[in-house]
Amino acid sequence: MANLPLHRRNIPVSRLALGCMGFGGEWNQNPVTSEHIRQGHEAVEASLSIGINLFDHADIYTQGKAERVFGQILAERPELREGIFIQSKCGIRFAENGVPGRYDFSKEHLLGSVDGILGRLGIEYLDFLLLHRPDPLMDPEEVAEAVQRLKSSGKVRRFGVSNMSAGQIQLLQSYCGEPFLINQLEMSLAKIGWLETGVHVNQDAARNDVFPEGTLEYCRLNDIQIQAWGPLAQGLFSGRALDGQSAAVQETAGLVERMAVEKETTREAIVLAWLMTHPAGVQPVIGTANPERIRACQDAERIVLTREEWYTLYVASRGKALP
Ligand SMILES: NC(=O)c1ccc[n+]([C@@H]2O[C@H](COP(=O)([O-])OP(=O)(O)OC[C@H]3O[C@@H](n4cnc5c(N)ncnc54)[C@H](OP(=O)(O)O)[C@@H]3O)[C@@H](O)[C@H]2O)c1
């Protein structure tokens, strides 16, 4: 794993993170309910019980309710703050007043977003702020100014990006004094573009690849922690109904189940271990708010897949032999 900085009395960041996108229920402007807070407490407790200390947010999740729920949890258990890492993201705007949903890395928007995030979470600082999705209109100089202001004001300790290619990170980094330490990307047994781009070099099949070539390598070379969003593939290989799914998905799900039985663990642990066995040191951001499913991920770090097991799952998930 790349080195996320040790932090606060040398507490290291956990290998798994909890994604809080499900906190607060539906994506709407309805008020947070006591049931949301109860569910949030359970998810946080289950996470802490398996050693998770990194919690991933974004200002848009459930339209701000996810951060409000988490803020309420911290208000009720203030002692938690110093032992955990809180990460949030900004830069995506909802549609409003006839203007479509869009991205916004303007200085004004980034600074205002962080104030909103800190207010909803009820905290003084974020451990990590990620720029959520690349804004085609981003002006790297302006982003650098915003980053500098957020850093010097103490509102954000460390920075990262999400869904960005190597070139986009390089562009931002060349203007920014602060290092971008994280890149959060969709990666799972169902989203294998990050591997396909690599194995398709010098192949016609490369024409269909969507994952930007060199991004994985750039992150590894520059000690940028790669975080995987959607790492459980929304349960596709760990218990979700498979009606109508492709033969490749069905076969992969069967293999995951068999390996889980053989290794006396859960299917979730196998699915995550497959990501974590890759030498890039991927940090999965699991998105379930279900305490049982969170606990089912506990073994992920302990399980080591052999080269043969890893390739068996990879080849099954791609649905055809490697070139
Ligand atoms: N950077 C980005 O652009 C981006 C985009 C999306 C998400 N994220 C982050 O990544 C986190 C994870 O993403 P994700 O939620 O897409 O990923 P995930 O961890 O792959 O999937 C979690 C979702 O799948 C459901 N699920 C898991 N196992 C299941 C099963 N066996 N049967 C039925 N449903 C099952 C969960 O429902 P239950 O809650 O009921 O278990 C939950 O809705 C999010 O919370 C968020 O923090 C980042």
d(C-alpha 190, C-alpha 314), whole Å: 9
Does residue 64's CB lie within 6 angstroms of at least one atom of ligand 1? no
- The catalytic site residues sit at 61
Q: Which atom in ligand 1 lies closest to the alpha carbon of residue 268?
A: 28
In this predicted model, what pLDDT tens digit does every residue of 117-126 receive, in sequence order?
Answer: 999 999 999 9
Is 70 exceeded by the pLDDT of residue 2?
no
The answer to whether the pTM exceeds 0.95 is: yes
Is 80 exceeded by the pLDDT of residue 6?
no
CA-based end-to-end distance of the chain: 28
For the chain, the C-alpha Rg in angstroms (whole number) is 20
**For a substitution probing ligand 1, which of 285, 292, 294, 295 has the most ligand atoms within 8 Å of its CB?**
285
d(C-alpha 125, C-alpha 285), whole Å: 21
CA distances from 179 to 80, 136, 218, 263 (A): 27, 21, 14, 40
In this predicted model, what pLDDT tens digit does every residue of 206-239 receive, in sequence order?
Answer: 888 889 999 999 999 999 999 999 999 999 999 9
- For residue 111, report the distance from its CA to the centre of ligand 1, in Å: 28
At residue 197, the pLDDT reads 95
Does residue 238's CB lie within 6 angstroms of at least one atom of ligand 1? yes
Does residue 285's CB lie within 6 angstroms of at least one atom of ligand 1? yes
Does residue 25's CB lie within 6 angstroms of at least one atom of ligand 1? no
Instruction: Yes or no: say if 32 and 61 are a contact pair by the CB < 8 Å rule.
Output: no
- For residue 20, report the distance from its CA to the centre of ligand 1, in Å: 9
Backbone dihedral region for residue 223 (phi beyond 0: left; psi -120 to 50: alpha; all else: beta) = left
Lowest mean pLDDT among 204-208, 291-295, 306-310: 204-208
